[in-house]
Amino acid sequence: MSFNVTNCISKSLSLTDANITFTGEIYEESINNLKTLVYEAILTYDSSSCPVCGNLDSSRIIKHGSKKSIVRILPVNGQPAAIRLKKQKFLCKECNSTFVAESNIVKKYCSISNRLKAHILSTLSQKISEKDIAKINNISHSTVSRYIDNDFKKYSPPKHTLPKNLSFDEFKSTKNAKGAMSFIMTDLDEKRVIDIVENKQLYHLKRYFNRFTKKSRKSVRTITIDIYQPYVSLIKEMFPNAKIIYDRFHLINNLSRALLKTRIDAMKLIPVTTMEYKRLKRYWRLIQMDFDKLDARDFRRWVHFKEMKTEYSLVMEAISVDETLKETYEIYQILLQDFKRKDVKGLKKHLKTFESKGSKHIRTAIDTMLKDFEYVANALDYDYSNGFTEGVNNFIKVLKRIAFGYKSFFHFRNRILITLRLKEQFDM
């Protein structure tokens, strides 16, 4: 009867330790102010060695009473559950020391079962607050925080090896961080976060990268960044063999913002009550759109237009109210096509042609690209971009918002790293 009860409960709780015997007694008890379902069980076996002195003579090791402990397990039907485990104590006659029986369901000196720990880690891989994780697993918030910090307390990337293709970016940090923005470094080949640095300021990053060996820094082939000059200085000094790649998205976004500002400047010269003003305001998305994506066949009615128009004819009429806007629009579309075709020669030719044309905003964007054209050309020659890193940044922002902010950078960094590492494992 005892075997059947033990077998039934063990299977229902997914326990594999044959040395645990359940008495069949199950009751409710308040543990840490939680109404908990408690299972009575006994852990016993014959010990063949002493962990203190190493004695292997089993005849000199005798059973010596017992010790009760509570082992927290996974919730049962949504209710907190635990095992009140009566552990066998042993006495070694060789060294007169006592020790307690151990089980594979829980680590020594720990009251939380291994399966519950595994479940906590699996929930950490999700975009969910630590308080909610604690509530789901019926444990304290401090326990969840402790698991995060213990696992990544001493984590640091290996100093003798660095990935061949890196990406740099930044995100808004915590209140107690030394800098307003923190630095993030990712491996573009493996699609993983390498490390997060508290401060993105140049002197701080130089000190950080000096920890890596010269050989590992010289082995880096490419580094993809947004248009940020301190990163350029950093790479030239610390990574002598690395090619700098300006992220394509940021380059195109610079041109897009220039067109946007030009449209706004044009609107300021037009009375707000006119149809021309209303068209520029209402259809700004179509004006910003890639020329090739505009429909030039389907005629339909549009607000602020009397005649039926296609998307193409709508845009052409809307921008015709201002010559500078029209010229800037044409420059933007030509440069956009160069980026789409990855035409380095064509892009350089057009940048020089339009250097003194269009609005002041588009000229500024063109000057920036001409100044660092080598890095712009690399953006077209290589397939690397900051897309993955920007996705990680977005993930970090969501994580921070869900938690209603973090005070400690150390803990926030650990949460990001452990969540992303676990997410990679569970997504495989």
Domains of the chain: total: 3
Q: Residues 210, 329: one domain?
A: no
Per-residue pLDDT tens, the chain, 428 aa: give them: 445 788 888 888 888 888 999 988 999 998 888 889 999 999 999 998 998 898 888 888 999 999 999 999 998 888 889 999 999 999 999 999 999 999 999 988 888 999 998 888 888 878 888 888 888 888 888 888 888 888 676 778 889 999 999 999 999 888 888 878 999 999 999 999 999 999 999 999 999 999 999 999 999 999 999 999 999 999 999 999 999 999 999 999 999 999 999 999 999 999 999 999 999 999 999 999 999 999 999 999 999 999 999 999 999 999 999 999 999 999 999 999 999 999 999 999 999 999 999 999 999 999 999 999 999 999 999 999 999 999 999 989 988 888 877 888 888 888 888 888 755 544 53
CB 264 within 8 A of CB 378: no
Q: Residues 19, 57: one domain?
A: yes
Give pTM, 2 decimals.
0.81
What is the CB neighbour count within 10 angstroms for residue 129? Answer: 15
- The two structure tokens encoding residue 21: 């015997």
Q: Residues 238, 252: one domain?
A: no
Q: What is the DSSP letter of 45?
A: -
- The two structure tokens encoding residue 217: 């820094």
Q: Residues 264, 302: one domain?
A: yes
Range of the domain at 400: 165-247+385-427
pLDDT for the residue numbered 424: 57
Give the domain-ending residue among 49, 76, 111.
111
Q: What is d(CA 232, CA 213) in angstroms, rounded to the nearest whole number?
A: 20
Residue 410 lies in a domain: yes
DSSP H helices, 358-408, are 360-371, 373-381, 387-402
Q: Residues 211, 269: one domain?
A: no
Q: Residues 294, 258: one domain?
A: yes
Residue 101 lies in a domain: yes
Q: Residues 243, 254: one domain?
A: no
Main-chain dihedrals φ then ψ at residue 257, nearest 5 degrees: -65, -35
Residue 139 lies in a domain: no
Give the domain-ending residue among 111, 130, 148.
111
Residue 33 lies in a domain: yes
Give the domain-ending residue among 111, 131, 154.
111
Residue 131 lies in a domain: no
Q: Residues 241, 390: one domain?
A: yes
Q: Residues 303, 361: one domain?
A: yes
Q: Residues 345, 377: one domain?
A: yes
CATH number of the CATH domain containing 200: 3.30.420.10
Q: Residues 335, 416: one domain?
A: no
Residue 154 lies in a domain: no
Positive or negative torsion for Cα 101, 45, 83, 136:
positive
